[in-house]
Amino acid sequence: MFALFVCMKRNKRKDIVIIDMGVGNLFSIQKACAAVGLPAILSSEASTIEDAGGLILPGVGAFGNAMNALRRLNLISVLAGYRDSGRPVLGICLGMQLLMDYSDEFGRHKGLGYISGSVKSLRHEISGEIPHIGWSPVFNTERGKSWDNTLLHSFDNNDYQYFVHSYFVNPDNIDDTLAITRYSGFSFCAVVHKDNVTGCQFHPERSGGAGLGIYKQWAVHSGLLP
């Protein structure tokens, strides 16, 4: 009887919370979640975040401004506690960059530190146009880290996703890089994944059916959808 109760409790669906920092593509992410049958609400309330089934950290703009917004909302410790609970966290674009230790965007800014590494400017690596805007392939790393039981579970290697960014994530541990992309001859991290924390540099919600599939697989393999 006790085992049945535990199973029912684990399977009880709770809303996904998209962190509302006042910036970013919040409603397009919310619509993408709805399209794959995943309830999602926008909130910056600590109590709502603490009770969420999963968190999505979006973001558009400068790294330092986003971190200041999280501090102003008193969410740094709330998010850390949520991450420590083992429940799923997904960062999108700038939200992925915030997962790292620090960024060099407009000075040195401390990040959330969920994944060891830094955020660097593409300007120092390529001769092409900045920002990187448009469709680029997402493919497996040279070491071939398995995509099984991740948000890329059903993703086709070298499929294209939509990017808009000037800075890229540089994880300290190559095992935290789930997928890479290439722009102007330079290869860099497109997806990070460590334990219950995942981040995408691209925008799945702007990437058609393949992007929607990424949200669905994240939900399925995080136990948020059957």
Encode pLDDT of 42-73 as tens digits. Answer: 999 999 999 999 999 998 889 999 999 999 99
Q: How many domains does the chain have?
A: 1
Query: Domain for residue 1, yes or no?
Result: no
Give residue 35's domain range.
11-221
On the question of a cis peptide bond just before residue 88, with omega within 30 degrees of 0, the verdict is: no
**Structural contact between residues 98 and 111, judged by C-beta atoms closer than 8 angstroms:** yes
Catalytic center residues = 93, 203, 205
Average pLDDT, the chain: 91
Domain with 136 in it: what CATH number? 3.40.50.880
On the question of a cis peptide bond just before residue 58, with omega within 30 degrees of 0, the verdict is: no
**Structural contact between residues 157 and 142, judged by C-beta atoms closer than 8 angstroms:** no
Residue 101 is encoded by which pair of tokens? 């230790």
Better-predicted residue by pLDDT, 137 or 7: 137
Q: Is the pLDDT of residue 10 over 50?
A: no
Query: Domain for residue 226, yes or no?
Result: no
pLDDT above 90 covers a percentage of the chain that reads 83
Query: Domain for residue 4, yes or no?
Result: no
pLDDT digit string, tens, across residues 118-157: 999 999 899 889 999 999 999 998 777 899 999 999 899 9
Task: Give pLDDT, residue 21.
Answer: 87
Query: Domain for residue 147, yes or no?
Result: yes
Query: Domain for residue 125, yes or no?
Result: yes
Query: Domain for residue 6, yes or no?
Result: no
Query: Domain for residue 2, yes or no?
Result: no
Task: Give pLDDT, residue 13.
Answer: 54
Amino acid letter for position 168 = F
**Structural contact between residues 206 and 162, judged by C-beta atoms closer than 8 angstroms:** yes
Task: Give pLDDT, residue 8.
Answer: 31
pLDDT above 70 covers a percentage of the chain that reads 93
> How many CB atoms neighbour CB 184 within 10 A?
13
Query: Domain for residue 5, yes or no?
Result: no
Instruction: Kindly state the average pLDDT of the residues 2-17.
Output: 50
